[in-house]
Chains A and B, each alone.
Chain A
Amino acid sequence: MNTISEAFLLSLQMMAQLDPELLRIIGLSLRVSLTAVIIGSIIGLPLGALLALTRFPGRDACIVVLNACMGLPPVVVGLVVYLILSRSGPLGTLGWLFTPAGMVMAQVVLITPIVAALSRQTVADLWVEYEEQLRSLGLTPMKAIATLLWDGRYSLTTAVFAGFGRAIAEVGAIIIVGGNINGFTRTMTTAISLETSRGDLALAMALGIVLLAIAISINAAATAAGNAARRRQGA
């Protein structure tokens, strides 16, 4: 009990003093996860829309696989990306192993199925409502993708934030691919994992509090913005 309250006080102190190591770790976490969520959305949103609008043999199987990939175990993704990026792997020449770029790549693999699967559902629902009208106006399903992504923008933010939530909170993939190198690839989650096992609970707890605060405030902001926009649009 004593250790916990001591660690808690110490963590508050670190946050109040804007401890440089703390800031560096938070900065890297945000940079990696935001980059991953941007790339994952650029791939995942159109992919989800495409799956929602097209009909081809094997489509159902694709959807099942995609939905299953929402629950990919991060350590497995980390392992696979590690093998791909390792010196003898197919992308070994990139030199991305134990770098933030490699961590981004691992998180993109984790996030893209989440964004794609959730946006597929949203776009499919919207297509039911819009299909006749859009076809009447002369749109082909392929051309309708951009329209549906734009008109579904408020619902689709949920998919993007789900992806971000996954990325910022996961530790398994980036600790394998990034290696948790101090000052270079150490993020909030990997640091918590390390510091806890080393017994430096103050830093771990400070990072934990920041992580929670980021997760809560981002989701609160997203919900508020989405609700306000939805009300305004009457959608």
Chain B
Amino acid sequence: MHARLSLLPLQLEDVGYSVNGQRLIGGITLRFEHGAPTLVLGPNGAGKSLLLRLCHSLIQPTTGKVSWLGPSGRNPQSRRFDQAMVFQKPVLLRRSVLENVEFPLKLRGLNATTRRDKAMAVLDRVGLAGLAQRPARVLSGGEQQRLALARAWALEPQILFLDEPSAALDPGATRQVEAIIESIAASGTKIVMTTHDLGQAKRLADDIIFLHRGSVAERTPSAEFFNQPHSDAARAFVQGDLTW
């Protein structure tokens, strides 16, 4: 887009989130830098989605602090526009495939021609160029998720949060989604992604954050995590024995 100042690193200091006095997640201290994908693993209810929402400022922490430490971290425009998120169930506008990708580009002030070119280019990369004029909501589940990824990719975010993007997809569609995620990562976007699929984590992750009962049990390079996880909870999880 233009020569951009870095928003990263993203820092969480002792971040916690409670609802009605019940702690759902707490004591989270993490730092995300530019680089290869980080995957967040953990059983259902461990707080994975919550962690992403806190990072992405969709919710505000009840304790602790989420801060962007890069040179553009104090620029609200950059905080708004240089990060993106894709949800487990893609939320598509009731418009055409192309218009879905163009929508946030318009918000960022791009003119009509640039929007169209950028949107078509990214649709082409995810294999949806042929469906550009189709209403987005009649696409298959896999196509919808690829569209959601394309929409995020077109924004060229510095960091992209992915909340179980392939949880509802069949193996073929999952493979396509993973290929797109790898391309986005290769284009220089930091990926932070949750999954409960160990195979997927092995394929994509550079390092793993393991969440258990609302706190970080460990953060370990991927290879090490799958060979000898440090925490008991992670060891049990990897072996498929983790009971809540």
Q: Name A residues whose Cβ lies closer than 8 Å to a Cβ of B.
A: 129-130, 132-133, 135-139, 143, 147, 151-154, 232-235
Q: Please state if A136 and B135 are interface contacts (CB–CB under 8 Å).
A: no
Q: Please state if B137 and A235 are interface contacts (CB–CB under 8 Å).
A: yes
Q: Please state if B93 and A151 are interface contacts (CB–CB under 8 Å).
A: yes
Cα separation A138 to B95 with both chains bound (whole Å): 18
By a CB distance below 8 angstroms, the chain A residues around B95 are 151
| Residue B84 CB within 8 A of the other chain | yes
Which one, B56, B84, B93, B135, contacts A232 given CB within 8 A?
B135
Number of interface residues of B (CB under 8 A): 21
Q: Please state if B58 and A136 are interface contacts (CB–CB under 8 Å).
A: yes
By a CB distance below 8 angstroms, the chain B residues around A154 are 94
Which one, A132, A152, A232, A234, contacts B91 given CB within 8 A?
A132
Give 1 or 0 for each of B127-156: 1 = CB within 8 Å of chain A CB: 000000001111000000000000000010
Query: What total of A-B pairs shows CB separation below 8 Å?
Result: 47
By a CB distance below 8 angstroms, the chain B residues around A135 are 58
Q: Please state if A137 and B107 are interface contacts (CB–CB under 8 Å).
A: yes
| Residue B234 CB within 8 A of the other chain | no
Nearest A-chain residue to B151, judged by Cβ: A137
Cα separation A143 to B103 with both chains bound (whole Å): 13
Cα separation A187 to B198 with both chains bound (whole Å): 72
Contacts A/B (CB < 8 Å), 12 sampled = A132-B58, A132-B85, A135-B58, A136-B58, A137-B155, A147-B103, A151-B93, A154-B94, A233-B94, A233-B137, A233-B138, A234-B136
Q: Please state if A233 and B87 are interface contacts (CB–CB under 8 Å).
A: no
Cα separation A138 to B77 with both chains bound (whole Å): 9
| Residue B32 CB within 8 A of the other chain | no
Nearest A-chain residue to B90, judged by Cβ: A133
Contacts A151-B93, A234-B135 given; does A138 touch B56 at CB 8 Å: no
Within 8 A of A (CB), among B98-148: 103-104, 107-108, 135-138
